[in-house]
Amino acid sequence: MTDTKENILNTALDLFARNGYEAVSVSIIAGELGMTKGALYKHYKNKRDIFDSIIERMKKMDYEGAKEYEMPEGNMEEVAEEYRQTSWEQIKSYSKAQFRYWTEVEFSANFRKLLTLEQYHNEEMSQLYQQYLGSGPLMYMADIFGELTGNKSDAVQTALEFFGPFFLLLSIYDSEEDKEKVLETVDRHIDSFVERLEIKNQK
């Protein structure tokens, strides 16, 4: 991706995150970048094309993050054995990295803010919000806990107990001045929860 295309993508997402998708036009994006609409159209066909590129970037970033921490990718039938081989240490490291991914990485943090703003205004955004920040990660963790503990009947409840504080702390992070304190709280939650689950699973 060229520097200009990259700048357009990042600037558009920043504007979407602050003002909402519908409120931001191609003219506003171009004006923010100091270019004409015609110059912008040489790189993206329209605002929808920009948004589709944002989604593609998020898919790529998610895949790369999971790969870095050796987390299973795919549906349960395909990767069940990989789930069972996932270590508790991997779960802790990946979970901590995910919180920082959604808060400290500018692109994904702005995507989170965009979906949070737009989830009640747009059905597609609502579905994306659930996929990335709601039922999607909840069920992902339920799958992992179910395989690791061998207790699939309680897996959703276990995932709720894990993801509930995680999700709440995501909401707190943006308005909290002492962000390091939030990160420390997240780390303590993840460490203590996974350790309790690991001990319980050994009995």
**CATH second-level architecture of 1-54?**
Orthogonal Bundle (1.10)
The mean pLDDT of the chain is: 92
- Residue with the bigger pLDDT between 29 and 69: it is 29
pLDDT at 1 over 70: no
Rounded to whole angstroms, how far apart are CA atoms 167 and 135?
A: 11
The model's pLDDT over 176-194, given as tens digits with 9 standing for 90+, comes to: 999 999 999 999 999 999 9
The model's pLDDT over 79-131, given as tens digits with 9 standing for 90+, comes to: 777 888 888 899 999 999 999 999 999 999 999 999 999 999 999 999 999 99
Domain locations along the chain: 1-54, 69-202
Q: Band of the pLDDT at 203, cuts 50, 70, 90?
A: low
Rounded to whole angstroms, how far apart are CA atoms 15 and 27?
A: 12
For the packed helices 106-118 and 123-133, what is the interaxial angle rounded to 10 degrees?
Answer: 130
Instruction: Render the burial of 147-160: b for 16+ CB within 10 Å, e for the rest.
Output: bbeeeeeebbebbe
Q: Which residue has the tokens 């995680």?
A: 166
**Helix, strand or coil for residue 124?**
helix
